[in-house]
Amino acid sequence: MKEFIFPIENDWMYARHSVILPDQPTVLCIHGLGDSGLSFQELATQLCLHGMNVVIPDLLGYGRSSAAKDYSFDAHIARLWNLVDHLGLPQIVLVGHSMGGDIATRMCKELTERVTNFINIEGNLTEFGDWRVKRTHFGAEMGPIWGWVNHVG
């Protein structure tokens, strides 16, 4: 894997990538909260052995990348698309873990024509997160019961 620093305005993103072969699919791996691209090291080895290109950045504020003023998903997504453009990748396969899965889900929504496949490992599929969705369903189920309890009590 090659290592490089990608400048982004006053910040910089550290990334690792394989040799980028034009006729092979490129997998962009996005790590989770409190992690770095190193969490994908074993996966990257396997993907390269199967003839795929691999790009693994450290999101700003994580790993070897610089700190940032903006850690919003929108900011992370903009930086990742800038990285993809910088590498000249017309299409990518997205793999995201945890928070990286959340970011990758939103990337799929923004530029669907550039994402050929998507793997979400423990990321949320809604903007509300798993906990709120479960509580919403619980509340909907319990609503009639609490109405009855209040009426009787």
Pairing state between β 11-17 and 53-57: antiparallel
* CATH architecture for residues 2-122: 3-Layer(aba) Sandwich (3.40)
Q: In the chain, where are the structural domains located?
A: 2-122
How much is the pTM?
A: 0.81
pLDDT in tens, 54-65: 999 999 999 999
- What was the pLDDT predicted at 63? 95
pLDDT, tens only, 21-42 = 989 999 999 999 999 999 999 9
Tokens of 136: 């919403």
